[in-house]
Structure 1
Amino acid sequence: MTLRLIISSLPDLIIWNTLHHFLMVVVAGLVVLYLKYKRKVPIYLLDFACYKPPNSYRLPKSMFLEAVFLNKLDPDSIAFQIKILEKSGFSEETCIPSSLARVPIRKSLPLAVEEVVTVMFCVVSDLFKKNSINPKAIDIVISNASMFCPTPSLSSMIVNKFRMRSNVMSFHLSGMGCSAGIISVGLAKDLLRVHRNSLALIVSTESLHLNWYTGKNPPMLLTNCLFRMGGAAILLSSHKEDKSKAKYELQHLVRTNKAQDDVSHACVYQDVDSENKVGVSISKGILHVAGAALKENIAALGPLVLPFKEQLRYGFSIICHKMWPTRRTSIYIPDFKKAFEHFCIHAGGKAVIQAIEKNLHLRKQDVEPSKMTLYKFGNTSSSSIWYELAYLEAKGRMKRGDRVWQIAFGSGFKCNSAVWKCVYDSKFGIANAWSDISSYPVEVPDFVKISE
């Protein structure tokens, strides 16, 4: 009788044990997620500084064209550079190192090093002085310059110049293109969360001297017309007590790499021309490649930042597009203005900024920091997004609780995003780079005729 009762109750016991096991797994999963969230270390941006070149480094359009003529290029190469410069959206204030103002240009490693250390040491000194930072308090140093990788590394030069500790962690990133600044932030974030209560210094710059193209290949001449001198130093912390004096807290960092695609991989490429002269070739299809990378990056970032209503509308439009493709139903573009108050779009060129403005339905004021940075400084590579953030601060637009989206593109091809939340409860000072902020914004014409 007892055996019969036991056998008859086996199904119930099995169900109960299964349910009990399932509940234990769920509870364990929730505990793990809770501990993971609880242990998440906040990353604070204490401050940053941008390099302002001296007026003697200015490259007015007339001086650029004079150098082009004196270098005795063929008429087609001259006409190409004039056309790009006329549409560049540059002012007369963009700068190059003084070594490139010589005719003919004489390239050398010492001059390239001089260019880079001038920028790096200046911005790091400004950052330390402004925040009363002892260099020996720095735990992590990360430098990035895509086209210049000397020995000792740039990060080692910084450690040597400022006499940092012997156990400071030092890293240099090269070959990452204009998106290297956000990649550096990502590396610093990971290190700061492992090495808690630490300070990280990031220095983003680029070297023009050795990479100034002296040949006749139009895709390679494009870099001479777009890239200019600049750099930025950024101070990050994982000290909890630093929240009271931090400017921003890192919310999200999303990276998209399209290097597995041959077209994307080859759209920005360092190579030699038919005369064995080294240059960086930029393909005509770069806007299409950048658009595809941005689309994928947004797909990953959107669920993290967009209100549920915007996500729902976006998802519904995709379903409709898939179910009724013959009706040509358009996919809804989420309104990112509901997720962010400010935008810092990499100042890679006027066409890049205009394409993002159009495709994301942004307002003129949303792309103003990018356009003004391009106008005043040109494309300063990975540091451009920091000039744009400095512009927003100088204009007094950054308020506590505001969210800002930094978007950067780079060779490979890469599209990276960083989202910061303002936690500063005071007025921001005007950065040295924008000491003339009262003059901005200015109207930038679509075309400026340059007489040959």
Structure 2
Amino acid sequence: MDLIDLFLSLLFLLPLLHLLRAAYDRRRCYILDYECYKPGDERKLSTKFSGEIIRRNKQLGLYEYKFLLKTIVSSGIGEETYAPQMVFDGREASATLADGLVEMDEFFLESVGALLKRTGVGPAEIDLLVVNISMLSTAPSLSSRIINLYKMRDDVKVYNLAGMGCSASLIAVNVVENVFRCRKDSVALVVTSESLSPNWYMGKDRSKMLANCLFRTGGCAVILTNKAELADRAMFRLKTLVRTHHGASDDAYSCCEQKEDADGFVGVHLGKNLPKAATRAFVDNLKEIAPRILPVREILRFLAAKNLRRLRRRWSKDPAVAGRPAAINFKTGVDHFCLHTGGKAVIDAIGQSLGLSEHDVEPARMTLHRFGNTSASSLWYVLAYMEAKRRLKKGDKVFMISFGAGFKCNSCVWEVVRDLKGDNVWKGFINGYPKKNLANPFMEKFGWLHEQDDSFSLPDDYQIPD
């Protein structure tokens, strides 16, 4: 090949290389850093104080007390989770919009401020802001509140998500990812939390009382970017993200729903059909994301095992001959599992479905015990646990799985860009984890209620002793 042919070949290849580079740039989405919120120790919800809160609800009788006792004991939540200030003021029955805004401002000022300071990213450098607080919708919006607090630019692109439930943070990441495809060299701020103050349930409907037992104060701020020059500073790179929504199904739609009870108290109804709806969404989500994250050899092995079992069932009338159903080994494609802390039963079910070890589900269990279910921000506390335990090494892949009202299952995979040091919300007490004993002391203090006959009734002025 002479020099003219080589020159012509390069001229032909340059546009192609430019297109490939542009396609790569559109897919680039890095996490520069994140900050989980930890309220002060004065906001910890001890067993004794939890009993006082239950005692203050005059709607409850012995039957409801026993239900709460059983729920709290089996929830997987410990004594160091956090509640909003209005609970400690004894005003959960009369919480106002102002209480919700105070709760959000505490988180906005502490976590967002700390994140901006640590990364060196100024408010004026934020090109995109996505806020997801499901249960508090205000005017102006909470995203506008953040813009006002930090005096961001006039042309910042803003998305305010509400009512999206516990899986909303991955929806926010997906919004950022899509915007990055058409906006080069951008910086995004994702703010995810939940407002408990105006949503504390004061009735006696058991399906709505569960939320008070599981949900706790928390939040997370995340800075993402698609700037190539920041790639070396980044912590994670987004590999793929899949969203599954079964809202067209009446059963899935109604299994997790905010509504009034018969007495007019507003709460979040968690129906008995929720596990079935979650399973269906989970399976459909896995079907879509599995081919994207698993090696070809694992997919071929699974298909072969599935077809072999089908043939065995056809050849024999004995179901036992077919053996166990074929299962995918997700550990062949990912290294760590970041599970939503929806509750002990949720963690157990996901772990069993994916064939995970106790080591794999440890981050979710310990996060639930220490921080409770902090709604959409839960995933980031689990991720922070892995980081604090120095589990995350360069090149590792982290599989995030979340569930939310709708009903939704959203998942994604992050690749660790560099070895992580673990200087985060778990700092100072990570050496005390994992804890061997996760038993809640409620049974020890209030177990006598569990032994009472259901026909027994409490007098109107009765109070549970400390």
TM-score, with structure 2 as normaliser: 0.87
Residue 432 to residue 309, structure 1, CA distance change in 2 (3 Å): same
**Match of 1:41, as an amino acid?**
R
Quote the Cα distance in structure 2 between the aligned partners of 1:132 and 1:108: 36
Unaligned stretches of 5+ in structure 2?
Answer: 1-15, 447-466
AA aligned to 1:156 is: S
Q: Does 1:436 align with 2:422?
A: no
The Cα of 1:314 is off from its aligned counterpart by 2.1
Correspondence for 1:370? 364
Does structure 2 retain, via aligned residues, the 8 Å contact 1:48–1:127? yes
Residue 317 of structure 1: CA displacement?
3.7
1:286 matched residue in structure 2: 274
1:419-430 alignment, distance < 5 Å? 419-425=413-419, 427-430=420-423
| Greater RCO, CA 8 A, separation 6+ | 2
**Alpha-carbon offset, residue 429 of structure 1:** 3.8
Structure 2 residue 44 is matched with structure 1 residue 58: yes
Query: Which position in structure 1 is the counterpart of 2:138?
Result: 150
Contact 2:341 2:365 in 1 (8 A): yes
Which residue of structure 2 lines up, in the alignment, with residue 226 of structure 1?
Answer: 214
For the 8 Å contact 1:71–1:103, the answer to whether it is kept is no
1:132 partnered with 2:120: yes
CA deviation after TM superposition for structure 1 residue 53, in Å? 1.0
1:54-98 deviation per Cα after TM superposition (whole angstroms, max 9, x unaligned) = 001111122111111122222211111111111111111001011
Give the letter for the 2:171 counterpart: I
2:31 equivalent in structure 1: 45
Q: CA 1:225–1:284 in 2, change beyond 3 Å: closer, same or farther? A: same
Change in CA separation of 1:313 and 1:187 when aligned onto 2, cut-off 3 Å: same
CA–CA distance in structure 1, aligned partners of residues 318 and 234 of structure 2: 51
Amino acid of the residue matched to residue 379 of structure 1?
Answer: N
Residue 337 of structure 1 aligns to a residue whose secondary structure is: helix
Q: State the Cα deviation string for residues 296-321 of structure 1 (Å, max 9, x = none).
A: 11110110011112111222344355
User: Would you say the 8 A contact 2:26–2:182 is kept in 1?
Assistant: no
For residue 103 of structure 2, what is the aligned residue in structure 1? 115
Q: Report matched runs for 1:221-260 at 5 Å.
A: 221-260=209-248
1:263 and 2:248 aligned: no
Which residue is equivalent to 2:75? Answer: 88
For residues 327 and 196 of structure 1, the distance between their equivalents in structure 2, rounded to whole angstroms, comes to 60
2:195 maps to 207
Structure 2 residue aligned with 1:176 = 164
Query: How many Å separate the matches in 2 of 1:322 and 1:175?
Result: 43
Equivalent position amino acid for 2:100 in 1: A
User: Equivalents in 1 of 2:404, 2:258: separation in Å?
Assistant: 13
Structure 2 SS opposite 1:242: helix
SS of structure 2 residue aligned to 1:89: coil
Q: Is the 8 Å Cα contact of residues 390 and 434 (structure 1) preserved in structure 2? A: no
| Deviation, structure 1 residue 33 | 9.6
SS of residue paired to 2:224: strand
Q: Which amino acid aligns with 1:97?
A: P
Deviation at 1:442, TM superposition (A): 0.5
Equivalent-residue separation in structure 2 for 1:32 and 1:310 (angstroms): 34
After superposition, the Cα gap between the structure-2 partners of 1:32 and 1:264, relative to the gap in structure 1 and judged at 3 Å, is: farther
Amino acid in structure 2 at the alignment position of 1:126? A
1:379 aligns with 2:373: yes
- State the match for 2:3 in structure 1: none
- Per the alignment, residue 16 of structure 1 pairs with none
| 8 Å CA contact retained: 1:120, 1:205 | no
1:331, CA displacement in angstroms? 2.9
Deviation at 1:36, TM superposition (A): 7.6
Change (3 A) 1:173 1:286: same
Match of 1:394 in 2: 388
Aligned to 1:13: none
Superposition deviation, residue 446 in structure 1: 5.6
> Among 70, 75, 82, which residue is 2:56 paired with?
70
Amino acid at match of 1:88: S
| 1:37 to 1:405, Cα distance in 2 relative to 1, 3 A | same
Show CA shifts across 1:233-252 (max 9, x none).
00000111111111111000
SS at match of 1:432: coil
Aligned length: 422
- Secondary structure at the aligned position of 1:215 is classed as coil
Q: How does 1:1-40 map to 2 (within 5 A)?
A: 37-38=23-24, 40=26
Residue 192 of structure 1 is matched in structure 2 by: 180
CA distance in structure 2 between the partners assigned to 1:271 and 1:439 by the alignment: 40
Report deviation, 1:37.
Answer: 4.4
Measured in 1, the distance between the counterparts of 2:25 and 2:176 equals 17
Q: The residue matched to 2:181 in structure 1 has which SS?
A: helix
Supply the distance in 1 between the matched residues of 2:279 and 2:228 (Cα, whole angstroms).
38
Q: What is the CA–CA distance in structure 1 between the aligned matches of 2:422 and 2:166, rounded to whole Å?
A: 27
Q: How far, CA to CA, are the matches of 1:249 and 1:77 in structure 2?
A: 47
The partner residue of 1:101 within 79, 88, 104 is 88
> Structure 1 stretch 211-220 or stretch 124-133: which is displaced more?
124-133
Q: Deviations over 1:94-131 (max 9, x none)?
A: 01011122335221111111011211221101101111
Q: Displacement, 1:444? A: 3.8
Which has the larger Rg?
1
Asked if the contact 1:342–1:405 (Cα under 8 Å) also holds between the matched residues in 2, the reply is: yes
Question: Paired residue for 2:445?
Answer: 451
Distance of 1:155 and 1:306 partners within structure 2? 37
Checking the alignment, whether the CA contact within 8 Å between 1:391 and 1:434 is kept in structure 2 is no
Q: What is residue 26 of structure 1 aligned with on the other side?
A: none
